[in-house]
Amino acid sequence: MNKSAPAFFTILKDFRYFCHQIQFLQTNYCMLLFLTVKNRFLLVLLSFSLFFSACSTDFDLADDWKEGMALYGLINPEDSVHYVRINKVFLDPETDALVIAQNPDSIYYYENLDVTIRELPNGPEWTAQQIDGNLTDINKSEGIFSNERNILYRFNFQPNLDRNYQITATNSETGYTVSSVTGLVGELQMTFPTNPVVTQINKLSTNRQTIRFNTPENGRVYDLKIRFLYEEWEIGDSDNKELKSVEWTAFSGLTSPGTSGGTLLTFQYDNREFYNQLANRIPADNSKRRRVKPLGSIQYIFISGGEEIYNYIISEGAQSGLSDGSAGSVYSNIENGYGVWSSRSTSSFGDFRITPTSVDSLACGSLTRQLNFADRAGFFDCN
């Protein structure tokens, strides 16, 4: 659902935005703080991606006050615990926006917000538990907003892939209600490489590496992370090896033409990129020795996002391209409010092995020689 921006929204050439990482969703959220200092108005909205951010809109508010709510969350069929963030959308012509942003009472609802998720068409209903993320391992990054509290809404249940889920948030004092429905993104199937227990991946040549996968039902946009596993120990203490890993994003925002699932998508990347990533992410340390993890050192981690995420990304791209000074459409699938309620899923494949010649190249190649990896024979002397 595309919501036209209210008539009182106008885009300003001078703007600021602040992006925050919300780690508990393992994805990037970009909370926009739109500030127009002249009129001292504040609007909090959401922008997010699977592993990327795109924030570039500023609005001025100049209309009568009315209650608003921004709700955002992703439901993951693999998880049994789900978190939702809900913020007030407001304006105050009498108070500086920077002052308001530091007051948690101006940002959050407290006892007067009832939040539920219902399984459609006639399944069970769950009531959220309000928590303060600051009292758990869920931390909000530093920024313009108050860190005094970090109010989240937690649900405990295991979703059913064959069902849709409706979230509803109601202000019990005013009766103001927002709601949204989303389906669940299914499991992605990787078709190449195959047989991950024994497949070897040659990173030595200058050829391109090919990855193919079939899209999941309800999936629309996809990221891929590659994880490399290795063992590390102090020189002279090989009995105390520590398993470590580094990972990077191979692609982000790859899309499928629809959400029915079963579409074959192909991605290619240069083999040389493998060595560049390791050289940039593993620190050189002459007191350490390393070796590629035996029996599998490469894992592929796909993150699939729903149609609503795709629609938001397209909307945000259109907003960032505006040049005539007027607001376009601000995507939201929250009925009577703002934000995004959608689904994501994670599909992991491994362990893939790199070839012996690739191990030698990692140990002695010009890009990674300083990382002190053993060659295929277990030696560290490249002379």
- Residue 48 structure tokens: 């997010």
- Provide the pairing of β-strand 68-75 with 81-89: antiparallel
Cβ-based neighbours of 321, under 8 Å, separated by 6 or more: none
Residue 382 lies in a domain: no
Residue 378 lies in a domain: no
CA torsion through residues 321, 326, 328, 334, sign: positive
Domain count, the chain: 2
Query: Could you tell me the pLDDT band of residue 94, with boundaries at 50, 70 and 90?
Result: low
Residue 329 lies in a domain: yes
**Range with the lowest mean pLDDT among 135-139, 171-175, 247-251?**
135-139
Rounded CA-CA distance 313/99 in Å is 31
pLDDT digits (tens, 9 = 90+) for 69-87: 999 999 999 999 999 999 8
| 152-156 mean pLDDT | 94
Residue 90 lies in a domain: yes
Q: Indicate if 147 and 218 belong to the same structural domain.
A: no
pLDDT for residue 19 is more than 80: no
pLDDT for residue 131 is more than 60: yes
Report the pLDDT value the prediction gives residue 242, as an integer from 0 to 100.
97
pLDDT: is 16 or 94 the higher one?
94
Residue 25 lies in a domain: yes
| 297-325 mean pLDDT | 79
Amino acid identity, position 339: G
CATH number for the domain that contains residue 260: 2.60.40
| 291-303 mean pLDDT | 93
Q: Can you give the pTM of this predicted structure? A: 0.79
Q: Indicate if 154 and 20 belong to the same structural domain.
A: yes
Q: Indicate if 237 and 292 belong to the same structural domain.
A: yes
pLDDT for residue 97 is more than 70: no
Q: Indicate if 56 and 179 belong to the same structural domain.
A: yes
Report the pLDDT value the prediction gives residue 181, as an integer from 0 to 100.
98
Residue 273's nearest CA partner among 156, 135, 372, 368 is: 368
Residue 247 lies in a domain: yes
CA torsion through residues 309, 311, 313, 316, sign: negative
Q: Indicate if 62 and 141 belong to the same structural domain.
A: yes
- Provide the pairing of β-strand 338-354 with 200-201: parallel
pLDDT: is 92 or 276 the higher one?
276
Residue 348: CB atoms within 10 Å:
14
Q: Indicate if 180 and 51 belong to the same structural domain.
A: yes
Give helix 272-281 / helix 356-364 axis angle, nearest 10°: 50
Residue 380 lies in a domain: no
Tell me 11's DSSP state: B
Query: Could you tell me the pLDDT band of residue 313, with boundaries at 50, 70 and 90?
Result: confident
pLDDT digits (tens, 9 = 90+) for 202-253: 655 567 788 999 999 999 999 999 999 999 999 999 999 999 999 999 999 9
| 280-300 mean pLDDT | 95
Containing structural domain, residue 277: 189-303+348-371
Q: Indicate if 357 and 228 belong to the same structural domain.
A: yes
pLDDT for residue 172 is more than 90: yes
Report the pLDDT value the prediction gives residue 22, as an integer from 0 to 100.
27
Q: Indicate if 222 and 171 belong to the same structural domain.
A: no
pLDDT for residue 287 is more than 60: yes
Q: Indicate if 72 and 125 belong to the same structural domain.
A: yes
Tell me 140's DSSP state: B
Q: Indicate if 149 and 232 belong to the same structural domain.
A: no
pLDDT for residue 302 is more than 50: yes
Rounded CA-CA distance 78/328 in Å is 36
pLDDT for residue 100 is more than 70: no
**Range with the lowest mean pLDDT among 79-93, 304-318, 321-335?**
321-335
Residue 214's nearest CA partner among 267, 145, 142 is: 267
Report the pLDDT value the prediction gives residue 206, as an integer from 0 to 100.
61
pLDDT for residue 25 is more than 80: no
Rounded CA-CA distance 181/185 in Å is 13
- Provide the pairing of β-strand 242-255 with 298-305: unpaired
Residue 83 lies in a domain: yes
Report the pLDDT value the prediction gives residue 354, as an integer from 0 to 100.
87
| 31-48 mean pLDDT | 31
Amino acid identity, position 245: S
Q: Indicate if 108 and 213 belong to the same structural domain.
A: no
Residue 9: CB atoms within 10 Å:
20
- Residue 54 structure tokens: 């795109």
Q: Indicate if 69 and 212 belong to the same structural domain.
A: no
Query: Could you tell me the pLDDT band of residue 103, with boundaries at 50, 70 and 90?
Result: low
Alpha helices for 15-165 (secondary structure H): 97-101, 104-107
Report the pLDDT value the prediction gives residue 372, as an integer from 0 to 100.
96
Contact 304, 185 (CB under 8 A): yes
